[in-house]
């Protein structure tokens, strides 16, 4: 039997979170954290609503996952995020020791790879999952802002 819980399946859930951010007039980035094919945390950007530059989708999801697990380490967990994490979020992910990061669109300006930020040596990264969908949502958001 084929496993329905693919990276694309979970990235669609992260895209749902990004849509929530879009509707709140936040930069549309969404994140979920999964362990054993179960979503344990969700987050989307809340920087405008909370007036907090650290309220990125990943940070919201990391905090929720740590609370769910009752500890600060996210070993065995996978983060699905619609946009490549920034340097700040990559640093938090490093300290969380998350096992896997899957992201959609690349952030050519502020992404952790562009900035040269290192992740935890045990963290694996998969990029480009539903990248077009994630990038198109960002393009729609900024086109709306320019009007």
Beta strands in 9-134 (DSSP E): 30-35, 38-44, 77-83, 100-105, 124-127
Taking the C-alpha atoms of residue 84 and residue 64, their distance in angstroms, rounded to an integer, is 19
Of the candidates 58, 84, 108, 133, the residue annotated as catalytic is: 58
Q: Which are the contacts of 22, defined by CB distance < 8 A and separation ≥ 6?
A: 28, 137, 140, 141
For the chain, how long is the longest CA-to-CA vector?
49
Taking the C-alpha atoms of residue 39 and residue 54, their distance in angstroms, rounded to an integer, is 22
Which neighbouring-strand residues pair with 62? none
Q: Is 84 among the catalytic positions?
A: no
> How many residues belong to the chain?
147
Active site residues: 58
């Amino acid at each position: 039997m084929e496993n329905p819980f693919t990276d694309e399946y979970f990235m669609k859930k992260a895209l749902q979170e990004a849509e929530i951010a879009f509707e709140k007039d936040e930069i549309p980035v969404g994140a979920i954290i999964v362990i054993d094919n179960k979503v344990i945390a969700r987050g989307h950007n809340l920087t405008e609503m909370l007036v907090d530059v650290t309220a990125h989708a990943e940070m919201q999801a990391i905090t929720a996952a740590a609370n769910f697990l009752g500890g600060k380490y996210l070993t065995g967990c996978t983060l699905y995020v619609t946009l490549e994490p920034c340097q700040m979020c990559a640093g938090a992910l490093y300290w969380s020791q998350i096992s896997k990061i899957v992201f959609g669109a690349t952030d050519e300006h502020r992404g952790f790879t562009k900035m040269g930020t290192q992740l935890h040596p045990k963290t694996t990264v998969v990029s480009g999952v539903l990248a077009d969908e994630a990038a198109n949502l960002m393009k729609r958001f900024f086109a709306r802002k320019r009007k």
